[in-house]
């Protein structure tokens, strides 16, 4: 659907495969996820971690939807400002149920007690909060830096191939925001449980 919105706004642009790959990100994929709660069933922990990741990504995507709607609804840059903007709003409303069911399911799990592999118990709140903390730390600290470095390397490489003047890279650098990640995620582990937080 994002591609349909792009095609409406930019009149079916031809996107060379290498450009598409660059847009998708050429950096290394994240290392294998470390287990935060090895005492839990591995499949259960993996499912909870995935649910937490998807929820966080969906919430962060709200800013991307606002940006996409604003940009593709702008007649200065969009060939179809009404239809392209409407397409972005449709994608956005399509995501709403994903956010709601994840929020509901994770809230339910957080209020319950989980049984460990050896028959012990773990508070759902401790597990869900630790996973949220880990994901939010990555999404607000290392991930944006990696994505920026990735994009910068792509821009530099494309400029070199095209023989573009170096000032374009300076302009790219000047676009960097001065946003700093909050010091806390709001889901910090209680003291004494730090070993599970990272």
Note the residues at the interface with Fe ion (CB under 5 A). 95, 98
Report the residue number, 67 or 101, with the smaller CB distance to Fe ion: 101
3-class secondary-structure state, position 39: coil
Using CB atoms within 10 Å of the CB of residue 9, give its burial: 0 to 12 exposed, 13 to 18 middle, 19+ buried: buried
Report the residue number, 94 or 171, with the smaller CB distance to Fe ion: 94
Minimum distance, C-beta of residue 40 to Fe ion, in the bound complex (Å): 25
Would you tell me how many other CB atoms lie within 10 Å of the CB of residue 153?
Answer: 13
Minimum distance, C-beta of residue 103 to Fe ion, in the bound complex (Å): 13
Report the residue number, 15 or 62, with the smaller CB distance to Fe ion: 62
Report the residue number, 43 or 93, with the smaller CB distance to Fe ion: 93
3-state secondary structure 121-168: EEEHHHHHHHHHHHHHHHHHCHHHHHHHHHHHHHHHHHHHHHCCCCHH
Chain residue whose CB lies nearest Fe ion = 98
Minimum distance, C-beta of residue 12 to Fe ion, in the bound complex (Å): 26
Q: For residue 17, give the H/E element and its range.
A: helix 17-24
Minimum distance, C-beta of residue 81 to Fe ion, in the bound complex (Å): 25
């Amino acid at each position: 659907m994002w591609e349909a919105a792009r095609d409406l706004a930019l009149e079916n642009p031809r996107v060379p495969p290498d450009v598409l790959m660059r847009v998708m990100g050429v950096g290394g994929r994240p290392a294998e996820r470390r287990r935060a709660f090895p005492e839990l069933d591995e499949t259960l922990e993996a499912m909870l971690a995935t649910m937490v990741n998807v929820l966080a990504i969906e919430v962060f995507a709200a800013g991307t939807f606002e940006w996409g709607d604003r940009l593709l609804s702008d007649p200065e840059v969009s060939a179809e400002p009404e239809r392209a903007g409407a397409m972005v709003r449709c994608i956005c409303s399509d995501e709403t149920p994903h956010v709601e069911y994840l929020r509901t399911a994770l809230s339910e799990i957080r209020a319950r007690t989980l049984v460990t592999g050896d028959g012990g118990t773990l508070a759902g709140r401790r597990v869900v909060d630790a996973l949220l903390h880990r994901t939010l730390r990555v999404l607000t600290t290392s991930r944006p830096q990696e994505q920026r470095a990735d994009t910068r390397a792509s821009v530099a490489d494309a400029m070199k191939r095209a023989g573009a003047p170096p000032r374009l890279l300076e302009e790219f650098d000047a676009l960097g925001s001065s946003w700093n990640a909050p010091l806390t995620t709001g889901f910090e582990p209680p003291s004494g449980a730090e070993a599970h937080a990272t």
